[in-house]
Amino acid sequence: VLEEYKTYDLKLDIQKQILDNTINNDLIKRYPIKISYQKAFLKLFMQKIEEGGNEIHDDLYAAYCRLISLPDKESVHYRHFLIQNGTLNCITLKESTNLISQGTTGLCSWQGAIVLSQWCVENKEQFCGKNILELGCGVGLTGMNVISICSPKQYIFSDCHPTVLNMLCENVKFNFISNKRSELLNTSDTTSKLQLQLKYEQTNVQVIDLKWEDIDEYVLKNSLQPDVIIAADILYDSNSFGALTLGLKRLLASNNYAIFAATIRNEDTVSQFLEHLGNYDLVFEECSLPRWATSVELIYAPVRILKISQKI
């Protein structure tokens, strides 16, 4: 945003408008993004103003002083994702400030989830009216995009870490329950893997506690037959590939498939997963990246989109 103003005078009224639509936005004040990001943004903003020879608005100083008075260490923060052509205008997610927290990486949105979200949006005909199961869903970014824009018949979020599931349920309820288009159907109990169930517009939404080694048992008990299985950034621990691949083998039939987004941090790890697929008579093909992912500078590591299916 600030780069667009580098050749323009940042007069007081423009400064005020930018501030009110960012740091002082009601949504940001109620559900703040990382304080460090806010401080860095304001610092750069004031630097640009000074470079243009303009006076800095008093409200910018006040906002910066407010931010630097806050504690440096925060355990959680929020992220806000704007949506076009969806039933939601914005997805707000509560996340852990630390990339690894309480022994899991699932408390924040990773790059693969962002890329997979965009891929699903660009291929929404594959999800409209379908039953979707997401494995290792984390805090819920991909699923909320799919539900809002692609209108599936059913969407099942699944994860197995209790803290991740708690934060996921918070995010699902925050984004969907307050909406007049939704109806809460069920919450968790001690005897069921079902953590949350609601109806959002025409989509039946569920959050379930599902370990990959328990997929076979869960499929038998619940007659689970997803049309599409999706997952993002779950291919980082080769020790889990046996259970994951066996679970995929149980879920996949001749008429369905899985879409995985994998951020390639270690080629050998992904290669091991692909070998596991072959051992279970599963095949894969590469899908094109979404247009957005090939044009922005947010890609810190390459991402591959894999379509996985039963070997014919």
- CA 36, 37, 39, 44 torsion-angle sign: positive
Determine how many CB atoms are found less than 10 A away from the CB of residue 269: 15
pLDDT digits (tens, 9 = 90+) for 120-151: 999 999 999 999 999 999 999 999 999 999 99
Give dist(CA 36, CA 65) in Å, integer.
13
Which pLDDT belongs to residue 126? Answer: 97
Give dist(CA 270, CA 84) in Å, integer.
33
Q: Residues 78, 38: contact at Cβ < 8 Å?
A: no
Identity of the residue numbered 120 = C
Token couple for 261: 């987004």
Exposure class string for 93-127: b at 16+ Cβ within 10 A, else e: bbbbeeeebeebbbbbbbbbbbbbbbbbbeebebb
Whether residue 103 has pLDDT greater than 60: no
Where are the chain's structural domains?
12-69, 78-310
What is the CATH topology of the domain spanning 78-310? Rossmann fold (3.40.50)
DSSP codes of every residue in 188-208: --TT-SEEEEEEETTEEEEEE
pLDDT digits (tens, 9 = 90+) for 198-248: 999 999 999 999 999 999 999 989 888 999 999 999 998 999 999 999 999
Average pLDDT over residues 8-12: 81
Percent pLDDT > 90 in the chain is 68
3-state SS, residue 288: coil
Whether residue 111 has pLDDT greater than 90: no
Look at residues 120, 142, 115, 135 and name the one whose alpha carbon lies nearest to residue 303: 115
Whether residue 192 has pLDDT greater than 80: no
Contacts of 279 (CB under 8 A, 6+ apart): 245
Give dist(CA 304, CA 289) in Å, integer.
7
Average pLDDT, the chain: 88
Give dist(CA 295, CA 293) in Å, integer.
6
Average pLDDT over residues 296-312: 81
Strand 303-310 and strand 194-200: the pairing is: unpaired
